[in-house]
Amino acid sequence: MKLIILEHYSQASEWAAKYIRNRIIQFNPGPDKYFTMGLPTGSTPLGCYKKLIEYYKNGDLSFKYVKTFNMDEYVGLPQDHPESYHSFMWNNFFKHIDIHPENTHILDGNAADLQAECDAFEQKIKAAGRIQLFVGGIGPDGHIAFNEPGSSLVSRTRVKTLAMDTILANARFFDGDLAKVPTMVLTVGVGTVMDAREVMILITGAHKAFPLYKAIEEGVNHMWTVPAFQQHPCTVFVCDEDATLELKVKTVKYFKGLMLVHNKLVDPLYIGNFL
């Protein structure tokens, strides 16, 4: 497990984007070899997405042979609703890059049979091959995707009811009106994400300090689902200084001492037509 600590949100976002860029370039995707990613929504990954768009526009990166699978979607919210995760991904990322629409996969929260939709999503991931890099964020109660406290740590894609803490956190996207916030979602499971070759989790801001503490310094517990990734063979937590406020000084110093090595993971590459 790696913990990457940067001073500010913008630096954490850029480090994460460079890591994704390098992984795609090193994979050398093509017509018969797609790089498969898992992607999150929410405010945390926006900075990372903006940098990836910048790399594409500069000619440093292409998404032509990339397939994506999003973590979750609200149940009952129309796809064209401004707060649906379909809208979020297209408005903030997909429409700005060269990814083919058929290579983007987002759960349908309006499907007639929601569990069948979840099962089909798992099959699509399987058909695409193993996800190479699953990028995620965490909620204030330590959940990844919408695997709320008490979720099975071997869970698969399924229907979930949102905890009140999550509804309160998401109300800001719905004019602060709790009545407008969907109470059910479709979400990948902890086990779905654990199957990925690599997992990168973005954690920024003082309001995420306690969940980061739980993820790094405490044990695996289904009431805080993100610590499960302590057991993944290749997990990278990327955070800013504010998110480390609950960590021990010794822990922060230890991981900061490794940054000279870890920063080599995002050094520019010179492969093919790309940096």
Residues that are catalytic = 72, 141, 143, 148
Helix, strand, coil % over all residues of the chain, rounded to 5: 45, 20, 40
Q: Assess contact for 12 and 240: CB atoms under 8 A.
A: yes
Q: Assess contact for 269 and 26: CB atoms under 8 A.
A: yes
* CA angle 270–3–125, rounded 5-degree value: 70
Q: Residue 155: which of 144, 139, 141 has the closest Cα?
A: 144
DSSP assignment of 201-251: EEE-SGGGHHHHHHHHHS--BTTBSGGGGGGSSSEEEEEEGGGGTTS-HHH
